[in-house]
Amino acid sequence: MRDVALSPLRDGELLVRITACGICSSETLQWYADRKAPFVLGHEPVAVIEACGTGAAPLLNGVAGANGMLPFAPGERVFVHHHAPCMQCRRCRRRDYVQCETWRSSKLQPGAMAQFAIVPVESVRADVLRVPDSLDDDLATLIEPLATVVKSVRRSRLRAGDRVLVIGLGTMGMLHLALARFRGAEVLMGADRVASRLDAARTFGAHHAFDIESAPLHEQVAGATDGEGADIVIVCPGSIAAMQAAAQCVAPGGTVVLFTPAAATEYWPLPVHDLFFKDVSVVASYSAGPDDTREALTLLADGLPVRPLVTHRFGLDSIAQAYRLVAAGTDALKVIVYPGRS
């Protein structure tokens, strides 16, 4: 850890005190971190506004503070998205927010694993959300990860009555199970190799929890679906083996969602012949936009049952231990860092 100077607050920006920040497992992927290094970790924060630049307000229809969207004020508790789109370009008009050039360039200064941060004007206008008092910090740190799941499930085109398989039962896998259950999935299946995560999956609604090392996954899925396979397969790990397993498990007319990328040097030998004649869709789902964060906040505020996800809490001085725990990928699920705690 080190002290860094923050830039003077400019018009439209916010100075926030980070009260809690979840750890995303993507930050423990060496190829992902090496590509961005050096950088300050953390992108799942909840914070309290300490100071506001002139005109710091949400943007609606191109006008800051319009239609009752009041300017932000010190003392308000907020969710802050680390990236935000311009809301004006062609990609934004298509709701492809994560492809917006502004989205890719905007970021917190210095990052969310810090005691204080500057929120850029782009985020202030498009994706800073007031957090209700009913939502404590533990749950508020789940807004960003749940938003990515909201987008993933939307892109899967899940329908009530579908049979859903989630491969990889870390935090993101459990959130997929919880949301798929909420959306009306008829059969929920989870797959992992960690026994404690298989047990936890059942508490998040899984009707079947498959140990991928006990038997071929496609055989286990076939046995639970009358031989048809899963209508929706969510692949949470950025693993070629997991992607290949998904292709074997997906039902005719189904969808495979790639939720995490593989390294740039890795390639999936796509089984085009089989997927073509099965009419299978393969879609990627990268991050989330303002529409997704708003829906995630609503879901959490309305009581989506995900509180058991939070398993560990640390202060900023124990952050190395916290990241090692996430990287181990065993008993820990959601690990949260509280920068104000020792």
Q: Which CATH number fits domain 14-142+306-338: 2.60.320.10, 3.30.70.990, 1.10.10.10, 3.90.180.10?
A: 3.90.180.10
Residue 324 tokens, joined = 């090692």
Q: What is the pLDDT of residue 36?
A: 79
Question: pLDDT tens for residues 204-232?
Answer: 999 999 999 999 999 999 999 999 999 99
d(CA 132, CA 134): 5
* Residue 110 pLDDT greater than 50, yes or no: yes
Residue 232 tokens, joined = 């929706």
Q: What is the pLDDT of residue 67?
A: 47
Question: pLDDT tens for residues 222-269?
Answer: 999 999 999 999 999 999 999 999 999 999 999 999 999 999 999 999
Query: For the chain, what is the mean pLDDT?
Result: 94
* Closest among 267, 260, 266 to 236, alpha carbons compared: 260
Residue limits of CATH 3.90.180.10 in the chain: 14-142+306-338
Question: pLDDT tens for residues 73-96?
Answer: 999 999 999 999 999 999 999 999
User: Where are the strands (E) in 41-127, listed by range?
Assistant: 45-52, 59-60, 63-64, 77-80, 116-119
Q: How far does Cα 121 stand from its chain's mean position?
A: 22
* Residue 129 pLDDT greater than 80, yes or no: yes
Q: How far does Cα 251 stand from its chain's mean position?
A: 26
Confidence at 1, pLDDT banded by 50, 70, 90:
confident
Contact of 308 with 203, CB cutoff 8 Å: yes
Q: What is the pLDDT of residue 245?
A: 98
Confidence at 60, pLDDT banded by 50, 70, 90:
low
Q: How far does Cα 91 stand from its chain's mean position?
A: 21
DSSP classification of residue 12: T
d(CA 227, CA 315): 48
Question: pLDDT tens for residues 14-29?
Answer: 999 999 999 998 888 8
Superfamily name with CATH number, domain 149-284: NAD(P)-binding Rossmann-like Domain (3.40.50.720)
What is the secondary structure of 268-304 as a DSSP string? ----HHHHHHTT-EEEE--S--HHHHHHHHHHHHTT-
Residue limits of CATH 3.40.50.720 in the chain: 149-284
Contact of 293 with 145, CB cutoff 8 Å: no
Confidence at 61, pLDDT banded by 50, 70, 90:
low
Backbone φ and ψ for 195, nearest 5 degrees, come out as -60, -40
Q: What is the pLDDT of residue 342?
A: 64
